A and B are shown apart, each in its own frame.
Chain A
Amino acid sequence: MKTFTLGGIHPKGNKLSAQAPIEIFPIPEKVYIMVTQHLGAPSTVIVNKGDRVKVGTLVAKADAFICANVHSSVSGIVEKIDEINDASGYRKSTIIIKVENDEWEENIDRSTNLNRECKLNSKEIVQRIKDSGIVGLGGATFPTHVKYMVPEGKKADFLIINGVECEPYLTSDHAIMLEKAEEIMIGIEILMKALGSKKAMIGIEKNKPDAIKKMQEIASKYNKIEIYPLKVKYPQGAEKQLIKALTGREVPSGKLPIEVGCVVNNIGTALAVYEAVQKNKPLIERVVTVSGKSVKKPSNLRVRIGTPCQLLIDHAGGIPEDTGKIISGGPMMGKALRSPEMPVTKGTSGILLMTEKESKREASSMCIRCAKCVNACPMGLEPYLLQMYVESLRFEDAENHKIMDCIECGSCQYTCPANRELLDYIRVGKSKVGAMMRSRTRK
């Protein structure tokens, strides 16, 4: 069975919501739609206070190349355009819509009929993906259409679909694979058409045997799509590691997957593409896992973008007494939220409630040079050394030791017996080195 070679760790899966079917979450009274929910340049708001919008109405437009459209996820009236805290704690422009009824734009096909045939050509598909505001739903939120504009001279041999879901607790992709396998396959076929690639590989870790079985069953009808069960190892869902596991190819330092003839997308993204291309439905909802050791009812919820996380938590049984931390995303790479008021965005794969005990870090002590961090790093870096360089402000050394290759997977910090805050330092170092590099190219 395949997996990637360098480093990796085995955190406990804790997939508490693995057996929970996807529930349709009721439409809230108000939604908070962030204007910029993707990685890249900010979008421009095109509605005003008092405007009437429907489900699927474009509310913020992408002007730049790496940018994404944003659509209203509800029908109602724009109440305010305000600034609220995003997951990182920055104030971000947000469109607040007061909900009235559930009226959809006329061109959206709301039926559940399977629509197999895609008449669009490659260019039109990419345009549709772009118009629909689709971004990577695994959490990185990179605008999807950009990946499908393959640069001159490069060829995408493989389309790689990420069904790994290696983060503990999260089960949204798992649930989608069980319930929407057919739609996902059509989405993948469409993506392959857009790329002109000859084969699609879906990687699924073997801790989801039911999803592997279901997907294999459906994929057998499609001759260019193959399912690859993978050994369980974190961070297999990271782009470079997944490519390595499935094809044996290594994306060179500082380069994109297309360099080795691959394009990677998430299971959820494939589903969103199906809905966008075949049903004309922009990205207005997603599946979110709500989980945690003390959560009463760990769930997978299909939620309109912009719904406050608090409502989802209430649905799963409320915030438990002993909650010490609320995380947007998984426990390895997610962000700790300042308050559960934060709305669901395109990148919210899960909401995790950690107990007070789990939220506290042990005190750190001196590095004992045990090399556990080195052995755990999937990028072959030396985290203990990077941490030391950053601490002593030796950013050039950090750059020479490839600090920018760090994918912030957290494996080093997870294994460190001295409880050192390796990734905290490395993150600071990356932003410094990044700024250094940018100022160099400007000169």
Chain B
Amino acid sequence: MKLLTISGSPHIHGGHSVKKLMRGVIVAMMPALLVSFYYFGLSAFIVTMVSVFACMFFEWFIQKFIMKVPTSITDGSAMVTGILLAFNVPSNLPIWIILIGALVSIGIGKMTYGGLGKNPFNPALVGRVFLLISFPVQMTTWPKSGLPFSTLSFDGLTGPTPLGILKGGLSQGETVNQVMSNVDMPRYADLLYGQMGGSLGEVSAIALIIGGLFLIFRKVITWHIPVAFIGTSFIFASILHMVNPELYVDPFFHLITGGLMLGAFFMATDLVTSPMSKTGQLVFGVGCGLLTILIRVWGAYPEGVSFAILLMNATTPLINNAFKPKQFGKAIKLKA
């Protein structure tokens, strides 16, 4: 009789794996990625490829030669970070800056803490914010996505993002209505499909929503963070708009511009850096929404999604302690 395996129960496994989860995220990012290729052309493709390969290379290099542990690049998480980083930069960013961004994302954002699962901050956002602070000019020079496939080279036309136009106009004393009639400001339908200046992956709200729904449907994420994030932003912006429509733009504008959809569906929901319990996730989402609008309206930067999520990442351990999952057997209700 040959030897039998002895192990504790359970003896079967559901077949989930980190690899499959990451593959789900990558598939979900495809619509937004394709839209970016459509609007920004070859340059978007190059930025994405460079970012993905750089992230995977740095992860492999650091694990193999510095940490001396088995490499984990096949789990797909470095690829996800690479695509997310690319999504968060302008399509005309010089390649050497992307490489720095990838190094910071993987090296500082992830590996210094011990790798996937131990990082407190979303690695792609760490890279993005580092670049934004270090290279403010390059990071805020947005190619115009006026005509599809028009900017095949790096020196196409550039223009500000809708949020940038808004912030610039308001700071010069214009009213919201005046800013909105600015020639540079895209119309709402264009915003929805992604015809605007902006980072690679944030331009098409529709593509992002499709990807986000896919993630929820595939049970990679739950609805709690996106709904709380988007809902809070909407409510907060609505209140401001009702108080003074001259000064505060209507809430829909907030939802479909900038990185809000990207942040709500793909970055705030990062498994590692968001809270565990459902109530915790709701609190986290609400925090992200509040901070985003606060920064957008009163902060120095036109866009606040990245900072909002990073700040909330920092509170995740506290949220985990304060908001425990609902335990069985706490509520006794006796109905005969």
A residues near B (Cβ < 8 Å) are 6, 9, 11, 89, 157, 168, 240, 244, 248-253, 255, 260-261, 323-327, 331-339, 352, 354, 358-362, 365-372, 374-375, 377-382, 384, 402, 405, 408, 410-411, 413-419, 421, 423-424, 427
Contacts of A325 in B (CB 8 A): 4-7, 11
Pairwise interchain contact B327-A418, C-beta atoms closer than 8 A: no
Q: Which of B21, B115, B276, B278 gathers most chain A CB within 10 Å?
A: B276
Q: Which of A255, A338, A378 contacts B6 (CB 8 A)?
A: A338
Assess A332 versus B4: contact at CB under 8 Å? Given A250-B329, A252-B329, A382-B324: no
Give the docked Cα–Cα distance between A380 and B276 (Å).
12
Write the B325-336 contact mask toward A (1 if CB under 8 angstroms, else 0): 111111111111
Q: Which residues between 7 and 42 of chain B lie within 8 Å of chain A, taking CB atoms? A: 7-14, 16-18, 20-21
CB closest residue in chain B, given A169: B12
Pairwise interchain contact A382-B325, C-beta atoms closer than 8 A: yes
Contacts of B222 in A (CB 8 A): 375
Q: 6 smallest A-B Cβ distances: which pairs? A: A410-B10, A380-B327, A366-B117, A417-B16, A370-B271, A359-B5
B residues near A (Cβ < 8 Å) are 1, 4-14, 16-18, 20-21, 72, 75, 114-118, 222, 271-273, 275-278, 324-336
Pairwise interchain contact B13-A253, C-beta atoms closer than 8 A: no
Chain B facing A: main interface SS: loop
Q: Which of B9, B75, B327, B328 contacts A335 (CB 8 A)?
A: B9
Pairwise interchain contact B10-A419, C-beta atoms closer than 8 A: no
Q: Which of A89, A327, A402, A415 contacts B16 (CB 8 A)?
A: A415
A-B contact pairs, 5 of them (CB 8 A): A168-B12, A253-B329, A324-B5, A414-B14, A418-B117
Assess A413 versus B13: contact at CB under 8 Å? Given A252-B332, A368-B272: yes
Pairwise interchain contact A9-B14, C-beta atoms closer than 8 A: yes
CB distance from B73 to the nearest CB of A (A): 13
Contacts of A244 in B (CB 8 A): 328
Q: Which of B6, B9, B17, B276 contacts A417 (CB 8 A)?
A: B17
Q: Which of B17, B324, B327 contacts A253 (CB 8 A)?
A: B327
Contacts of A414 in B (CB 8 A): 10, 12-14
CB distance from B327 to the nearest CB of A (A): 4
Give the docked Cα–Cα distance between A9 and B10 (Å).
13
Pairwise interchain contact B328-A6, C-beta atoms closer than 8 A: yes
Assess A371 versus B16: contact at CB under 8 Å? Given A366-B117, A410-B10: no
CB distance from B313 to the nearest CB of A (A): 12
Pairwise interchain contact A332-B329, C-beta atoms closer than 8 A: no
Give the docked Cα–Cα distance between A244 and B327 (Å).
13
Pairwise interchain contact B9-A405, C-beta atoms closer than 8 A: no
CB closest residue in chain A, given B18: A417
Pairwise interchain contact A331-B328, C-beta atoms closer than 8 A: no
Pairwise interchain contact A378-B13, C-beta atoms closer than 8 A: no
Give the docked Cα–Cα distance between A372 and B18 (Å).
12
Give the docked Cα–Cα distance between A324 and B9 (Å).
15
Pairwise interchain contact A361-B276, C-beta atoms closer than 8 A: no
Pairwise interchain contact B11-A250, C-beta atoms closer than 8 A: no
Contacts of A419 in B (CB 8 A): 13, 17
Q: Which of A380, A415, A416 gathers most chain B CB within 10 Å?
A: A380
Pairwise interchain contact A336-B18, C-beta atoms closer than 8 A: no
CB closest residue in chain A, given B331: A250
Pairwise interchain contact B11-A331, C-beta atoms closer than 8 A: yes
Contacts of B17 in A (CB 8 A): 362, 417-419
Pairwise interchain contact A249-B334, C-beta atoms closer than 8 A: yes
Pairwise interchain contact B327-A331, C-beta atoms closer than 8 A: no
Pairwise interchain contact A380-B18, C-beta atoms closer than 8 A: no
Contacts of B20 in A (CB 8 A): 417
Pairwise interchain contact B327-A374, C-beta atoms closer than 8 A: no
Give the docked Cα–Cα distance between A240 and B117 (Å).
33
Pairwise interchain contact A380-B11, C-beta atoms closer than 8 A: no
Contacts of B117 in A (CB 8 A): 365-369, 418
Assess A374 versus B276: contact at CB under 8 Å? Given A253-B329, A361-B7, A423-B10: yes
Contacts of B10 in A (CB 8 A): 331-333, 410-411, 413-414, 423
Pairwise interchain contact B328-A380, C-beta atoms closer than 8 A: yes
Assess A368 versus B11: contact at CB under 8 Å? Given A248-B335, A405-B328: no
CB distance from B120 to the nearest CB of A (A): 10
Contacts of B116 in A (CB 8 A): 366, 368
Give the docked Cα–Cα distance between A208 and B272 (Å).
40
Assess A240 versus B329: contact at CB under 8 Å? Given A358-B12, A368-B18, A368-B272: yes
Contacts of A380 in B (CB 8 A): 325-328
CB closest residue in chain A, given B16: A417
Q: Which of B6, B11, B20, B278 gathers most chain A CB within 10 Å?
A: B11
Give the docked Cα–Cα distance between A367 and B17 (Å).
11
Give the docked Cα–Cα distance between A157 and B336 (Å).
8
CB closest residue in chain A, given B221: A370
Give the docked Cα–Cα distance between A375 and B220 (Å).
12
Pairwise interchain contact B271-A368, C-beta atoms closer than 8 A: yes
Contacts of A352 in B (CB 8 A): 11
